[in-house]
Structure 1
Amino acid sequence: MLLYTQQYAMVVQNIYNAGHFIGMAYRVKNDDSSALTEDEIRKDIIAHARMIETLIKVSPKYVRLHYTKNEDTRTENILKDLGFQIVGYNLDSKDYQFRDPTGEASVEHVYRSTFRNQKETYDAKGSFISIQYDIPDTGSLAAVPYIINAINEEGYTMVRLDGCLNDPQPYKKSADSTSYVSDRFSYNTTGYHQGQKAVPLDELKTQADEQGKSASPNASSVIPKWLYLLLVPWITVITI
């Protein structure tokens, strides 16, 4: 698992200590729960959660199940029995398809189109949970500042999942516990933060121009380091 690698373990600790919310994505081995006993699935889920718990001292409570063609109600029921809560998403950023940071073929355009379709269809803003991936093969990282500006300009606010759900106890006490706890960043604490700041795109252009003077710049190298933290945490929650 990736969290066994020190680099990824430090990323999780850093984003948690910066006040970001940590959930868990879970994928059954070979995407086939029928090949495993219930006890094997339970132990595997707890092992995944415990790995995160060792890094942030609380266990994730909210879980996103990996997509499978057929709904895996068996695994869903085991997760619920263990005290986890399953959450999905209703805004697919399509960062696996779009590489440009802005324009028609970009993640930013997906956000703007979703917001405008919502308004045109219902004559009101909605609430969205979006999914993005921080691996290099996607267009998410380079698009972060444009996404922030799109959210800002369309009148939405970025919040943590616990803020979206009004959940003051968004973690489990431990991986194998069914008791819920809060931490210093949880909803309704003084450490809780939400919202976003518009990103001055002229500054990004200046950075890009400066990078262009060096050999073989990559898209992520022109993004301020503080933006990285906005991408890594699992899902983005946007509400009115």
Structure 2
Amino acid sequence: MVVQNIYSAGHFVGMTYRVKNDDSSLWTDDEIKQDIISHARTIETLIKVSPKYVRLHYTPEPDVRVESILHNLGFVLVGYNLDSQDYSHKEQTGPNSIEDVYRRTFLRQKDTYDAKGSFISIQYDIPDTGALAAVPFMINTINEEGYTMVRLDGCLNDPKPYKKSADSKEYVSDHFSFNATDYHQGQKAIAAEALEVEDWETEEDRMFTSKKNQGSIARVGWFFSIALVSASMSLL
């Protein structure tokens, strides 16, 4: 229900794709094609449209072969230029925190160009990062520095930000899409009393971390985690 709830609340859903074993040379073009379509179809079964925008998992060198296959399937690659670094910064606020990564990025932009910039940000949603607990602090920093949070389709002025189906090249919109009736953007400041730093780890988080350490996380679990990363990224 998590992905459906995110989508139904008006958030944009994209997809991250990672080649099996991080080595596309081990697979034929058709195997990679079918794997990509299978991943996209999983999201399609949940939200009734297929993701269009895809972020490729990091590799030391660009995988132009996979990029070409994605392009030929009608997917659009998207990158990012603001890494929240929540995989290494666990503090929610203060020096060396996730919030501080945002603030330093905005200040560096202003000092360098004497103007605000445009950023696509990425966060990781798995429990052993500090991402979830840091969200209110990130929002307030974005607000204080005069930036507006938008969906990816709003950032790119794309009124048809989804594919009709995983194996289709036809692009479609929904009622949340850019220029549609229920499209929205922007953020509200979080009240100070809601910013009390707490231990946000839940029993579910601890179970996830325990299973992860035991190497027993199912691939589909990682897939949904990755899908949510794209959703989070596209909000900024």
- Which of 170, 177, 182 is the aligned partner of 1:179? 170
Equivalent in 84, 93, 99 of residue 84 of structure 2: 93
Q: Quote the residue 2:199 is aligned against.
A: 218
CA contact under 8 A between 2:14 and 2:234: conserved in structure 1? no
- Counterpart contact for 1:166–1:187, Cα < 8 Å: yes
Q: Does 1:42 align with 2:33?
A: yes
Could you list the structure 1 runs, at least 4 aligned residues long, displaced by more than 3 angstroms after superposition: none
Question: In structure 2, do the counterparts of structure 1 residues 236 and 103 end up closer, same or farther at CA, with 3 Å as the change threshold?
Answer: farther
d(CA) in 2 for partners of 1:75, 1:201:
46
Structure-to-structure mapping, 1:3-14, within 5 angstroms: 10-14=1-5
Q: Residue 158 in 1 paired to residue 149 in 2?
A: yes
Counterpart mapping for 1:194-213 below 5 A: 194-205=185-196
How much does 1:220 deviate? 5.0
The one-letter amino acid of 1:154's match is E
Are 1:20 and 2:18 matched, yes or no? no
Q: SS at the partner of 2:66?
A: helix
Change in CA separation of 1:74 and 1:28 when aligned onto 2, cut-off 3 Å: same
Identity %: 70
Task: Find out whether 1:135 has 2:126 as its counterpart.
Answer: yes
State the AA in 1 paired with 2:200. Answer: A
For 1:49 and 1:89, locate their aligned partners in 2 and report how far apart those are by CA, in whole Å.
Answer: 20
Which amino acid is 2:75 matched to? F
Rounded Cα–Cα distance in structure 1 between residues aligned with 2:14 and 2:234: 11
Q: Secondary structure at the residue paired with 1:157?
A: coil
TM-score, structure 1 as length reference: 0.84
Structure 2 distance, partners of 1:143, 1:35, is 39
Output one character per residue of 1:75-130: Cα deviation in whole Å (capped at 9) or x when no partner.
00000000000000000100011111100111100000000100000111000001
Which residue identity is paired with 2:90? R
Query: More strand per residue: 1 or 2?
Result: 1
Q: What corresponds to 1:189 in structure 2? A: 180
Whole-angstrom distance in 2 between the partners of 1:120 and 1:204: 28
The reply on whether 1:59 has 2:40 as its aligned counterpart is no
CA shift, 1:204, in A, is: 3.3
- State whether residues 102 and 138 of structure 2, in contact with CA within 8 Å, keep that contact through their aligned partners in structure 1: yes
CA contact (8 A) 1:92 1:131 kept: yes
Task: Give the whole-Å Cα distance in 2 for the aligned partners of 1:129 and 1:204.
Answer: 24
Greater relative CO (CA pairs within 8 A, separation 6+): 2
Gaps of 5+ in 1: 1-9, 209-216, 222-230
How many residues were matched structurally? 210
Residues in 2 aligned to 1:236 and 1:170: alpha-carbon distance in whole angstroms: 11
The change in CA–CA distance for 1:27 and 1:164 in structure 2 (over 3 A counts) is same
Where does the alignment leave 5 or more consecutive residues of structure 2 unmatched?
A: 203-227
Preserved contact between residue 92 and residue 130 of structure 2 (Cα < 8 Å): yes
Instruction: Please state if 1:78 is matched with 2:69.
Output: yes
